[in-house]
Structure 1
Amino acid sequence: MGGSLSEGLRTVFAVVLSCLVIGFVFMQWSSVKESGNTALTDSNSTITQMDEAKYTQYDAAVVTGSEVVNVIKLHQNDQIYVGVNTGSGMVNYIYSGPSLTGAGADLADARDKTNAAYINPNSKFTGKVIRAVNTDAIVGIEFTKS
Structure 2
Amino acid sequence: MPLSLFSTLLLHAGRVILASLFILGGLNKIADPQASVVMMEATGLPLPGLAIYAVILLELGLGLAVALGGAVASGRLVAPAALALTLYTLAVNVFFHPFWAMEGVQAQTELSLFFKNVSVMGGLLAIAGLYLDRSGAPDRP
Q: Is the TM value for this pair above 0.5? A: no
> 1 or 2 for the larger relative contact order (CA 8 Å, sep ≥6)?
2
The structure where strand makes up a greater share of residues is: 1
The structure where helix makes up a greater share of residues is: 2
